[in-house]
Amino acid sequence: MLRAQLLDRQAQRESAARTYARTIPVAPVAAAGAEVTGADGRTYLDCLSGAGTLALGHNHPEVTGALREALRSGAPLHTLDMITPAKDAFSEELLGQLPGTLRHQAKLHFCSPAGTDAVEAALKLARNATGRQGVFAFTGAYHGMTLGASAVSGPERMRGQLTDAQPVTRLPYPYGYRCPFGVGAEQAGELSARLLESFLTDPSSGVATPAAVILEVVQGEGGVVEGPDAWLREVRRITAEHGVLLIIDEVQTGIGRTGYYWACERAGVTPDVLVTSKAVGGGLPLALIAYRPDLDTWQPGDHTGTFRGNTLAMVAGQITLRTVAQEQLPEHAEKLGARIRGGLRDLALDHPAIGEVRGRGLMIGAELVDPDAEPDRLGSLPGNPRYARALQAACLERGLMLELGGRGDTVLRLLPPLVLTDAQADSVMNRLTDALTDVERAA
Ligand code: PMP
């Protein structure tokens, strides 16, 4: 069936809430590594990789080989949360890759296979283990679409309803480019951590000690915004001193994406609860939390779900976890990411609409602004959603799939597979450069 027909039928049949399907009107029919072929016969470089899921790219031969073998073996594909050899092997591999004191020690809880359910589980575990109800979360955060997870997220449309007995207190994320304090990321990190400490120590703060603080080390959907290491270490110190659990959501940053196996490792911080999904399942749906064993005080059935033991996801996940470590893909991501960011910064010199280039490893963002507009009182130029949308479309025309994020979708986001080659990275830059010229010519 032709691309246009597929897209028309999708538009007739599927929900108005669909997203990527609208902004990236490709009907993928084949894919390998960082390349996707659409029903129109065109090949695209994939810098979206399933919203950061495909660490090893599409159809990595070791993953597909192991999946074929699992299917051939007659192993049960669906086992609720019963143990299988595939699940045991996955757990062994994951436990060996966890950060800091969680390594080989953590308890694992397998969730329904979406990041958002693992966030729900983390919040529930924290409330259970501490007996407290409140949670501190950050501006600009994205933790998922279910009610508990969206209640700790930033955007208005996502704000879920928790009961009054489960309050969420918002702390400012140290977003340097649009700094809430007008002082830049490092100092904002200090102030944000000081505010956290003051909430916990001032008897008149009006805020009850929470069960947990939840954060992303690099905010992904929030626009590739990095929290400084010193901020993260301070949050860790303060939470530990006050018996507040630190939940780090590594759904997007985990498994090598940021140049470390886990993003929290760069600052030498270990969370009490680590949330993982996306790449952990090797492209198949899988989500879980790994946490300090002494927190395991909840009871059978406190957090369940039908799909917590998908054999194919365990197989694909185990191979992905192992391959990322064996092939030193975090180091590769760091090197290649630095090169791409360097190229983007060079482009920014000629294209003032690129306000800032940032990111870690192969989690890269370029914030797009209106250079002709008046800066705000803090000196920031307003974001440029129309330019961002036009650039995304021009990239697609040039055969480059990528995503937007951040406030008003004004941040161009690159999340290529970690196996992206140097030549492919050059091609990404060339296509992006041409797309920028296309957009500016059309303006
Ligand atoms: N946490 C983070 C940091 C995410 O980036 C996402 C998804 N983009 C989620 C949670 C939610 O994951 P899912 O879409 O699988 O529910």
Token pair recorded at residue 327: 């092939």
**What's the Cα-to-Cα distance from 42 to each of 335, 371, 391, rounded to whole Å?**
29, 34, 19
> Does a structural domain hold residue 351?
yes
Please indicate, yes or no, whether residues 230 and 360 belong to a single structural domain of this protein: no
Q: Is 226 helix (H, G, I), strand (E, B) or coil?
A: strand
> Does a structural domain hold residue 253?
yes
Report pLDDT digits (tens) over 413-425. 999 999 999 999 9
Instruction: Supply the range of the domain harboring residue 401.
Output: 2-59+328-442
- As a whole number of angstroms, the distance between CA 215 and CA 299 comes to 26
- At 240, which amino acid appears? A
Report pLDDT digits (tens) over 118-131. 999 999 999 999 99
The residue contributing the CA closest to ligand 1 atom 10 is 143
Nearest atom, ligand 1, residue 119 CA = 10
Report pLDDT digits (tens) over 198-215. 999 999 999 999 999 999
The stretch 346-366 carries a mean pLDDT of: 97
Q: Are the beta carbons of 204 and 198 closer than 8 angstroms?
A: no
> Does a structural domain hold residue 126?
yes
Sign of CA dihedral 241, 273, 52, 57: positive
Nearest to 79 by CA among 271, 313, 259: 313
Ligand 1 centroid to 90 CA: how many Å? 21
Distance of CA 117 to the CA centre of its chain: 14
Nearest atom, ligand 1, residue 278 CA = 15
Distance of CA 67 to the CA centre of its chain: 25
Domain boundary (278, 297, 326) is at 326
State the pLDDT confidence band at 433, using cuts at 50, 70 and 90: very high
Please indicate, yes or no, whether residues 103 and 212 belong to a single structural domain of this protein: yes
The stretch 56-70 carries a mean pLDDT of: 98
pLDDT of 162 > 80? The answer is: no
Q: Are the beta carbons of 436 and 404 closer than 8 angstroms?
A: no
Q: Can you give the pLDDT at residue 325?
A: 98
Nearest atom, ligand 1, residue 221 CA = 5
State the pLDDT confidence band at 150, using cuts at 50, 70 and 90: confident
Nearest atom, ligand 1, residue 149 CA = 10
Q: Taking CB atoms and a 6 Å cutoff, what residues make up the pocket around ligand 1?
A: 51, 114-116, 119, 142-144, 216, 220-221, 249, 251-252, 277
Ligand 1 centroid to 129 CA: how many Å? 24
> Does a structural domain hold residue 68?
no
Nearest atom, ligand 1, residue 51 CA = 8
Q: Are the beta carbons of 49 and 28 closer than 8 angstroms?
A: no
Token pair recorded at residue 37: 């072929």
Check which CATH number belongs to the domain holding 333 and give it. Answer: 3.90.1150.10
Please indicate, yes or no, whether residues 200 and 268 belong to a single structural domain of this protein: yes
Please indicate, yes or no, whether residues 284 and 262 belong to a single structural domain of this protein: yes
How deeply is 163 buried, as exposed, middle or buried, from its count of CB atoms within 10 A (0-12, 13-18, 19+)?
exposed
Q: Which residue has the tokens 């062994």?
A: 92
Check which CATH number belongs to the domain holding 270 and give it. Answer: 3.40.640.10
Ligand 1 centroid to 20 CA: how many Å? 15
pLDDT of 351 > 70? The answer is: yes
Q: Which of 19, 111, 117, 143 to mutate to test the pocket of ligand 1 (most atoms within 8 A of CB)?
A: 143
Q: Are the beta carbons of 33 and 57 closer than 8 angstroms?
A: yes
Nearest atom, ligand 1, residue 113 CA = 15
Ligand 1 centroid to 43 CA: how many Å? 27
State the pLDDT confidence band at 161, using cuts at 50, 70 and 90: low
> Does a structural domain hold residue 64?
no
Q: Can you give the pLDDT at residue 380?
A: 86
DSSP annotation of 369 reads B
The stretch 392-417 carries a mean pLDDT of: 98
Ligand 1 centroid to 117 CA: how many Å? 9
Ligand 1 centroid to 241 CA: how many Å? 29
Ligand 1 centroid to 115 CA: how many Å? 5
Please indicate, yes or no, whether residues 164 and 248 belong to a single structural domain of this protein: yes
Ligand 1 centroid to 265 CA: how many Å? 20
Please indicate, yes or no, whether residues 305 and 193 belong to a single structural domain of this protein: yes
Nearest to 193 by CA among 268, 138, 250: 138
Close Cβ partners of 102 (under 8 Å, ≥ 6 residues apart): 270, 271, 274, 290, 291, 292
The stretch 148-160 carries a mean pLDDT of: 73
Q: Are the beta carbons of 282 and 63 closer than 8 angstroms?
A: yes
Domain boundary (326, 345, 366) is at 326
Please indicate, yes or no, whether residues 271 and 319 belong to a single structural domain of this protein: yes
Please indicate, yes or no, whether residues 333 and 322 belong to a single structural domain of this protein: no
Percentage of the chain lying above the pLDDT 90 cut: 92
Q: Can you give the pLDDT at residue 160?
A: 55
Q: Are the beta carbons of 213 and 135 closer than 8 angstroms?
A: yes
Ligand 1 centroid to 251 CA: how many Å? 6
- As a whole number of angstroms, the distance between CA 102 and CA 100 comes to 5
State the pLDDT confidence band at 286, using cuts at 50, 70 and 90: very high
Q: Is 169 helix (H, G, I), strand (E, B) or coil?
A: strand
Please indicate, yes or no, whether residues 297 and 262 belong to a single structural domain of this protein: yes
Please indicate, yes or no, whether residues 280 and 412 belong to a single structural domain of this protein: no
Neighbours of 8 (CB within 10 A): 12
DSSP annotation of 298 reads -
Q: Which of 152, 225, 278, 288 to mutate to test the pocket of ligand 1 (most atoms within 8 A of CB)?
A: 278
Nearest atom, ligand 1, residue 117 CA = 16
The residue contributing the CA closest to ligand 1 atom 12 is 115
> Does a structural domain hold residue 66?
no
DSSP annotation of 208 reads P
- As a whole number of angstroms, the distance between CA 367 and CA 279 comes to 25
Count of the separate structural domains present in the chain: 2
> Does a structural domain hold residue 69?
no
> Does a structural domain hold residue 79?
yes
Domain boundary (283, 309, 326) is at 326
pLDDT of 391 > 70? The answer is: yes
Strands 135-138, 107-110: pairing is unpaired
Please indicate, yes or no, whether residues 295 and 415 belong to a single structural domain of this protein: no
Q: CA 413, 177, 257, 58: dihedral to nearest 10 degrees?
A: 0
Nearest atom, ligand 1, residue 275 CA = 1
Q: Can you give the pLDDT at residue 282?
A: 97
Please indicate, yes or no, whether residues 38 and 156 belong to a single structural domain of this protein: no
